[in-house]
Amino acid sequence: MKAIKGKFLAKGVHVPDQKSLAMDVPIEVMDAPDIVAIGVQQHIGRPAEPVVATGDQVYMGQLIAKETGYISANVYSSVSGVVMGVEKRPNVGGTTSDYIVIQNDHHYQEMKLDPLPDHESATIKARIREAGIVGMGGAGFPTEVKLSPKTPVDYLVINAAECEPYLTCDYRLMIEKTEEVLAGIRLLAKALGEVKIVMGIELNKPKAIALFEKYDDIQVVALKKAYPMGSEKHLIYSCTGRKVPVGKLPADAGCVVQNVATAYAVYEAVELGKPLYERVMTVSGKGCIHPKNLLVKTGTPYDAIRENCGVKDETVKYIAGGPMMGPAMASSNVYTTKTSSGFLMLLPEETTEDNPSPCINCGACAEVCPMNLLPMQIDFYTQAGKYDLAAQYGGVRNCISCGSCAYVCPAKRALTQSIALCKKKLAENKGGAK
Ligand code: SF4
Ligand code: SF4
């Protein structure tokens, strides 16, 4: 179906693209290092429970940690080898959690899931759950749960915006694995029942738009380049014209959103019997000597990726994910997960000084906030330890952590950190006031 124009995102920011660094670099398979550390908490929800012990022989694609509840996900080994232990190791965000450490024998002996008896909705959903598939656009929410909304939906919205500057892994999947991504999208639609498929692709990816508009069952929506076009609520509005009310879910507007990499993982799980244990990630930034789109096994140390792609001496910052939403990394001695979409190595010219000055009440942060919040109020009350007031006057509970406010702040206020701290405190206090 010929692509149509999407509705315009009125707020948000325009950030320099930087996709050209890795956009034309074909996906390369990275060999995993001698030791991988596979986290039991690679998703939103309860951590998985290890089902292997020290000394066990495991195979690539073998279940090594089992889901522990409705919002949880299975974890599979990404290599064959021997389990060295279950240890606390650092996460990208600075916390620690349990990791299953495996000595890689480099034979990659594989275990597959059983072939499916049919491709009915319930069977597809059960396979997606069994395979440990979670939202690979960054959120890590178990995909099967999203495919089982409480109210009926009539739209499957495929998030192919990839609006984070630098990231090109979804783009490469779309142009190198078009048929497979398409098959995954159709399986997702089948799992949902009778739905229309819309696919939002930013205009800076004309090749991808041309490839997918050839299919009659998919309505491609060409999106104006803007950030955060890939946020669920904005994508839904741009693609369908529907608004998701504040505090509500996409399903309340009749929509389920899934990302391109997730669709690809669904294809692999359903058609090939392959659980989720590897993914494509973009390694980029001007500090990276050889920017790439790498197919990386989960549990690969970022250090090994840095070695594979090379880093310039002048590099001052590492980021996991995209520069707008991804956290700065204190160390690259951490491990990839199902949601690792990017690894950026940035030079001084690509980063801003972390030297905040007092707020000058310019209002720029509120002007760009796509959720119509008051980020300066969130920051003010958070700094004063008044998290409930940050929620009341700043609206932090509706924040989508897009980073647009911090991007435009002339005073370089650490708005992203304030917001993250405030959300954490509110969660700890179960929304209670301090
Ligand atoms: S307050 Fe939240 S939603 Fe608004 S711009 Fe800042 S990070 Fe984005
Ligand atoms: S953009 Fe920065 S300086 Fe301006 S009002 Fe917001 S926090 Fe204050």
- Amino acid at position 390, single letter: A
Binding-site residues, ligand 2, Cβ < 6 A: 359-365, 375-376, 379, 408-411, 413
pLDDT of residue 432: 41
Range with the poorest average pLDDT among 9-13, 63-67, 77-81, 393-397: 9-13
CA of 413 to the centre of ligand 1 (A): 13
**Average of per-residue pLDDT across 134-143:** 91
Token pair of 417 as six digits = 């950190």
Q: Whose CA is nearest to atom 8 of ligand 2?
A: 359
- Does residue 187 register a pLDDT over 60? yes
Q: Is the CB of 400 under 6 A from ligand 1?
A: yes
Q: Is the CB of 401 under 6 A from ligand 1?
A: yes
CA of 15 to the centre of ligand 2 (A): 18
Overall fold of domain 4-23+118-272: Rossmann fold (3.40.50)
Write out pLDDT tens, residues 294-321.
999 999 999 999 999 999 999 999 999 9
More confident call, 355 vs 202: 202
pLDDT of residue 1: 85
The pLDDT confidence band at residue 351, using thresholds 50, 70 and 90, is confident
Cβ neighbours of 54 (radius 10 Å): 11
Identify which ligand lies nearest to the alpha carbon of 369.
Answer: 1
Q: What percent of the chain has pLDDT over 70?
A: 98
Nearest-10 crossing angle of helices 169-176, 178-192: 100
The backbone region for 132, taken as left when phi is positive above 0, alpha when psi lies in -120 to 50, beta otherwise, is left
Q: Whose CA is nearest to atom 3 of ligand 2?
A: 359
Write out pLDDT tens, residues 243-285.
998 888 999 999 999 999 999 999 999 999 999 999 999 999 9
Q: Whose CA is nearest to atom 6 of ligand 1?
A: 405
- Does residue 433 register a pLDDT over 90? no
The domain locations on the chain are 4-23+118-272, 364-428
CA of 342 to the centre of ligand 1 (A): 21
Q: How far apart are the C-alpha atoms of 313 and 337, rounded to whole Å?
A: 27
Using CA atoms of 376, 379, 382, 383 in order, give the dihedral in degrees to the nearest 10.
-120
Q: How far apart are the C-alpha atoms of 231 and 332, rounded to whole Å?
A: 27
Identify which ligand lies nearest to the alpha carbon of 412.
Answer: 2
pLDDT of residue 274: 98
Token pair of 246 as six digits = 């504040």
**Average of per-residue pLDDT across 120-131:** 98
